Amino acid sequence: MSYQRILLKLSGEALGQPSDGHGIHAGSVTGIARQIARVVGLGVEVALVCGGGNILRGAEFSEMGGQRANADYMGMLGTLINAMALSDAIEQQGVETRVMSALEVRQVAEPFVRRRALAHLGRGRVVLLAAGTGNPFFTTDTAAALRATELGCEVLLKATKVDGVYSADPKIDPSAERYSSLDYMDVLSRNLRVMDSTAITLCMENNLPVVVFDLFEEGNLERVVRGEELGTRIRNSS
């Protein structure tokens, strides 16, 4: 394996209805769980951060008149629902999991404690990291970069519905160029919107490589972990 410990970042929409990304779709969740179970079977330690956009986006909700901090906490609870759904689906594949939350919800999740999370990973459990950083105004992309750094992950795998990072939206601009590799500063200076700038900066400061790839082609997660050249790699070019 090219990687022994990874952090997989999923959007909430990845769990939603294929048509619009809303809600939780059993087929979508099961498909993702199946890919994760295969990778765990190869001996790879897997931590996972999932967004909550299929349930609620804090920033969008606040634009409707709600307080941004309150809306963000609502979004964090949405990520907890997604983590619980994924946890159940992964365990149905025969792999142990633990849901760990940045907010205290002891009835359904353990509080995030770094050393405890490392112990779970060492025992072959998938660790689902919910509720972002536990703070409003931070995205789940930033939470993924933070947790990957804390847990000593070798790579942050950013799962999307396209096969990498493009110079423009390929659905709108057929001439859009796909990048096979980028420097962190390229992402920031070109405003490529792969992840928010806080997340990219955190990865850059800690030399944490990011691979952006299409999760929705069966087997792609395993291919990335094996080191195949899929998607776009973001790292320090020097």
The Cβ of residue 152 has, within 10 Å, a number of other Cβ atoms equal to 14
Residue 191 burial (CB count, 10 A): 8
User: Which residues lie closer than 8 Å to 171 by C-beta, 6 or more apart?
Assistant: none
Q: Which of 121, 167, 148 lies closest to 205, judged by CA?
A: 148
pLDDT, position 58: 66
Which CATH code fits 5-161+208-227?
3.40.1160.10
The encoded tokens of residue 90 equal: 């992964």
Of 39, 53, 29, the C-alpha closest to 6 is 39
Point out which residues pair with 49 in neighbouring strands.
Answer: 9, 129
Q: Per-residue pLDDT tens, the chain, 238 aa: give them.
A: 689 999 999 999 999 998 888 999 999 999 999 999 999 999 999 999 999 999 987 667 777 777 888 889 999 999 999 999 999 999 999 999 999 999 999 999 999 999 999 999 999 999 999 999 999 999 999 999 999 999 999 999 999 988 999 988 888 888 899 999 999 999 999 989 899 999 999 999 999 999 999 998 999 999 999 999 999 999 988 6
